[in-house]
Chains A and B, each alone.
Chain A
Amino acid sequence: MLTIDQATHDAIIAHARRDHPDEACGVVAGAIGSDLPTRFIPMLNAAMSPTFYEFDSGDLLKLYREMDDNDEEPVIVYHSHTATEAYPSRTDINLAGEPGAHYVLVSTRDGAHESGPVDFRSYRIVDGEVTEEEVSVVESYEDGTPYVPTEQKAEH
């Protein structure tokens, strides 16, 4: 099960809507071993594509260095599908490189980028196997970890 606070959940959806019709992508980092996504980090989709996303390689290195320095790991890796359902594609499965992460997919198809509910689903992707999991949205985490928005990356 993925447990996520409401503000981070909403921030992922807002990012997906903002970048529609291109795919949006990012990470929510958390303390190693905590399984709590606490630091929302929207990333630039270097592919700038409606059907593909990729972190810029320089951004990727910087991100992993920051997480290392903070004793964090990528608890969530998220991206949007903008014309199809929020389910991992063959490409998503083949390229999934974080066996410990929750892979969150949101879909902004059918006008969801403007209004109405946005499909928000979470998966484990390990060795090519996809397992959907329940998403539990909570007001805040029990230990009181505050939600701190990070600086937005420049968007094209």
Chain B
Amino acid sequence: MAIEVRIPTILRPYTGGERAVDGAGATVAELIDQLEVDHAGIKERLVENDEVRRFVNIYVNDEDIRFTGGLATPLADGNTVVILPAVAGGALS
């Protein structure tokens, strides 16, 4: 079962520079565990305390998973997963 996962520039060091990789899993959590097997170190950049990091956005078929069940969001063959770092900042330290 193949799921296309699109990797942002800042995480491409983990994927050997690849912009997209194949993933597998019945949920986003399983997909990330599989990504960690294939691309060690990437999970820590995506997940903190069993939740998606505050400034990381993950989309399944264009839906932000924050609105579809978070890491428990189900996946199916042929889905596309997009990972994007938030574009955020500001004077507040």
Contact = CB atoms under 8 A, between A and B. Distances in A.
Given A57-B66, A64-B84, A89 B10 contact: no
A51 interface: yes
B87 A55 contact: yes
Given A57-B64, A95-B55, A99-B9, A47 B86 contact: no
A91 B7 CA distance: 23
Nearest to A54: B88
Contacts of B55: 95, 97
Helix, strand, loop or mixed for chain B's interface? Answer: mixed
B10 A98 contact: yes
A96 B84 contact: no
Q: How large is the interface on A (under 10, 10 to 19, 20 to 34, 35 or more residues)?
A: 35 or more
Contacts of B16: none
B87 A25 contact: yes
Nearest to A25: B87
Contact of B93 (A23, A27, A58, A89): A89
Contacts of B84: 60-61, 64
B21 to A, nearest CB: 16
B92 interface: yes
A99 B10 contact: yes
Contacts of B89: 52-53, 79, 88-89, 91-92, 95-96
Contacts of B87: 25, 27, 43, 54-55, 60, 77, 97-98
Contacts of A3: none
Given A54-B87, A82-B91, A89-B89, A97 B8 contact: yes
A84 interface: yes
A90 interface: yes
A88 B9 CA distance: 21
Contacts of A88: 89
A55 B88 contact: yes
Given A77-B87, A97-B10, A98-B9, A58 B64 contact: yes
B90 interface: yes
Given A82-B91, A99-B9, 5 more contacts: A61-B62, A61-B64, A81-B91, A91-B91, A91-B92
Interface of A: 23, 25, 27, 43, 47, 49-55, 57-58, 60-61, 64, 73, 77, 79, 81-84, 88-92, 95-100
